[in-house]
A and B are shown apart, each in its own frame.
Chain A
């Protein structure tokens, strides 16, 4: 069947009442997660995974994916209104969005973000629909050496982009990999590092790690900030830009869409990267760059579009290769595996109804979000003023019951506390925590790929370097790592480090 026919079948599933409902719940929760401080998209998605245990896989992923892209919209609201980004990618939006709000133009900033996000999101999904089926064959040509090389390349990108220093990024990446070593080893089946504890025979659970590192640690950090200075958002009115702003905004949205989509294809980039790149591109292209930072509409339109089209583009490596490009994607992939769906080239063939239904639902979800963000922006803005002191106990209660339900055991609640504290302590030492969760998922895959390579080629590492695709990826890894080390020495790390502060 052709792509169009498949997509229409997908729509047939996605438009069923229950899937529409799950998409609506997903985008609403996503908006909430984005808006509420102290809870990012990774945490929000992880928190709701337990709720999907009883659902059929399609509905579950429809809902969880909706949380993910919904949070990209929601994050904008708090950023623009109070300059407290609900999720990392919105940090960039705050550079010009917050000044716009201070000039009484909060509505316009939110309006253009919603429009840009919608266009970026929808065009990127169209891109996925058109490109992904053609790439299945290409993905099938990936053997174990290519997988190993690609994951390694992803890791080097994570290290380079993780934040303030290469050393700190490497610590996070390596700890994630080591945590993946607990439990059953691939191919041999030997139980590693169980220390005689039954719960450790299966290793650590990804949902526990994600909820602790993202959810609980963000609450602990947020708690400190909120007690120091609580926030109050301004009112929202007038959603549309003035006539002379339409043209530059449209151009920024166009550029942001393309940029975000292609950045999504590269494993290891987080949604901050396309947003940041779009911002600096807009600034460079602008006739009068001095307006940036003082409320330039392009500085809002471009990055907001880019981070949404990124979420679309990132679906390609996730669906086709089973490689998550960001921490939130890793959480989504964890959900895939929990529901018995192994992402990879065969996903498109064996579970094509699932893939197309999820893609179709993303069109619907984005349309819902456009509606929620244009006519209803004022309502969401009010939610942003729900006090944190009322909110965080609820989030903790949900986290506790959520982690408990992973395996009906208090062991995982203890895990939540443990990883929450680890995340808190690491953030205080400037060690980024998102890579830990990401590489935890990649660790087992990487080891498996290496062991398979060595088994196929009788113990020789050479094919990883000599097979054309794998070799290229290895070369790119070396370049990526040396570039970030070089940049570290020159102390000229791009403004990414600052934006994370």
Chain B
């Protein structure tokens, strides 16, 4: 049971539905001019909660079970997936201080270095980051995160 991945996703969806359902009670359900802002969320989250239970019921049937081992990679592949997640998180936390270019080069290096020769990695990371900075910040006038020096 506990190893069934699909069941956990079902529980997660049910939790989300329950939270939305609960939240809908703080909003007006029916006003003098028809349904209020709570009307739609309450119905949809209610139905979703029911469907989530059906899904859980369906996913614990023998032929529908998906174990964590089947669903997710292990070893190197898993590490690489987590690197992608980590790189984006790092960008979010450091960009306000280092500015866009340094943060972006760092993200790309994290992703490139494990597979690509170091000089190619550096060349690709720097050129792509500079190109994106130029297109968005200079050309399209969309201010990107900047460090104390303005880049």
Which residue numbers of A lie inside 8 Å of B, CB to CB?
50-51, 53-54, 165, 167-168, 170-171, 174-175, 177-178, 181, 185, 188, 190, 192-193, 216, 219-220, 223-224, 227-228, 389-390, 392-394, 396-398, 400-401, 404-405, 408, 410, 413-414, 416-417, 421, 425-426, 428-431, 447, 450-451, 454-455, 459
**Cβ distance A70 to chain B, nearest Cβ, rounded Å:** 20
| Contact B96–A190 (Cβ < 8 Å) | no
If A53-B142, A390-B116, A393-B125 touch, whether A429 touches B66 (CB-CB below 8 Å) is yes
If A393-B112, A410-B95, A417-B85 touch, whether A188 touches B9 (CB-CB below 8 Å) is no
Query: In whole angstroms, how far apart are the Cα atoms of A62 and B58 in the complex?
Result: 45
Annotate B50-94 by CB proximity to A: 1 below 8 A, 0 otherwise: 011011001100000010000111001100110011011101100
- Chain A residues with CB below 8 A from B71, complex form: 428-429
In the complex, B124 has a CB within 8 A of chain A: yes
| Contact B36–A188 (Cβ < 8 Å) | yes
**Using a CB-CB cutoff of 8 Å, which residues 16-74 of chain B contact chain A?**
16-17, 20, 23, 27-28, 31, 33-37, 40-41, 44-45, 47-48, 51-52, 54-55, 58-59, 66, 71-73
Residue of B nearest to A392 (CB): B111
- Chain A residues with CB below 8 A from B143, complex form: 408
**Cβ distance B144 to chain A, nearest Cβ, rounded Å:** 7
| Contact A394–B77 (Cβ < 8 Å) | no
Which residue numbers of B lie inside 8 Å of A, CB to CB?
5-6, 9-10, 13, 16-17, 20, 23, 27-28, 31, 33-37, 40-41, 44-45, 47-48, 51-52, 54-55, 58-59, 66, 71-73, 76-77, 80-81, 84-85, 87-89, 91-92, 95-96, 100, 104, 107-108, 111-112, 115-116, 120, 124-125, 128-129, 132, 135-136, 140-145
Query: In whole angstroms, how far apart are the Cα atoms of A341 and B100 in the complex?
Result: 32
**Cβ distance A218 to chain B, nearest Cβ, rounded Å:** 12
| Contact A53–B87 (Cβ < 8 Å) | no
Interface SS majority for chain A: helix
Residue of A nearest to B100 (CB): A401
Residue of B nearest to A181 (CB): B41
Residue of A nearest to B41 (CB): A181
- Chain B residues with CB below 8 A from A168, complex form: 55
If A401-B104, A404-B145 touch, whether A220 touches B84 (CB-CB below 8 Å) is yes
Which of B10, B37, B76, B145 lies in contact with A185, CB distance below 8 A? B37
Of residues B17, B88, B125, which shows the largest number of chain A Cβ atoms within 10 Å of its Cβ?
B88
If A401-B144, A410-B96, A428-B66 touch, whether A459 touches B34 (CB-CB below 8 Å) is yes
The 3 closest A-B pairs by CB, nearest first: A185-B37, A393-B111, A389-B115
| Contact B9–A174 (Cβ < 8 Å) | no
Interface SS majority for chain B: helix
| Contact B95–A188 (Cβ < 8 Å) | no
| Contact A181–B20 (Cβ < 8 Å) | yes
| Contact A397–B107 (Cβ < 8 Å) | yes
Query: In whole angstroms, how far apart are the Cα atoms of A36 and B33 in the complex?
Result: 52
**Cβ distance A329 to chain B, nearest Cβ, rounded Å:** 22
**Cβ distance B26 to chain A, nearest Cβ, rounded Å:** 9
| Contact A175–B5 (Cβ < 8 Å) | no
Which of A223, A398, A416, A451 lies in contact with B81, CB distance below 8 A? A223
| Contact B116–A171 (Cβ < 8 Å) | no
Interchain residue pairs with CB less than 8 A apart (15): A167-B51, A167-B58, A171-B52, A171-B55, A175-B13, A193-B41, A224-B81, A390-B112, A397-B128, A397-B129, A401-B136, A405-B140, A410-B96, A425-B9, A459-B34
If A188-B31, A459-B34 touch, whether A175 touches B16 (CB-CB below 8 Å) is yes
| Contact B145–A227 (Cβ < 8 Å) | no
Which of A190, A193, A219 lies in contact with B23, CB distance below 8 A? A193
If A174-B47, A393-B124, A400-B88 touch, whether A54 touches B140 (CB-CB below 8 Å) is yes
- Chain A residues with CB below 8 A from B34, complex form: 451, 454-455, 459
Residue of B nearest to A444 (CB): B40
- Chain A residues with CB below 8 A from B66, complex form: 428-430
- Chain A residues with CB below 8 A from B54, complex form: 167
Of residues A175, A401, A405, which shows the largest number of chain B Cβ atoms within 10 Å of its Cβ?
A401
- Chain B residues with CB below 8 A from A227, complex form: 73, 76-77, 80
Known: A190-B27, A413-B88. 5 other contacts (CB 8 A): A165-B58, A185-B27, A220-B84, A393-B108, A428-B72
**Cβ distance B9 to chain A, nearest Cβ, rounded Å:** 4
If A219-B84, A389-B116, A429-B5 touch, whether A177 touches B140 (CB-CB below 8 Å) is no
Query: In whole angstroms, how far apart are the Cα atoms of A190 and B35 in the complex?
Result: 13
Which of A224, A394, A400 lies in contact with B91, CB distance below 8 A? A400
- Chain A residues with CB below 8 A from B58, complex form: 165, 167
**Cβ distance A403 to chain B, nearest Cβ, rounded Å:** 10
Which of B47, B59, B91 lies in contact with A413, CB distance below 8 A? B91
Which of A181, A396, A413 lies in contact with B84, CB distance below 8 A? A396
| Contact B125–A455 (Cβ < 8 Å) | no
Query: In whole angstroms, how far apart are the Cα atoms of A400 and B145 in the complex?
Result: 12
| Contact B40–A171 (Cβ < 8 Å) | no
Query: In whole angstroms, how far apart are the Cα atoms of A185 and B115 in the complex?
Result: 48
If A178-B20, A185-B37 touch, whether A429 touches B136 (CB-CB below 8 Å) is no
| Contact A223–B45 (Cβ < 8 Å) | no
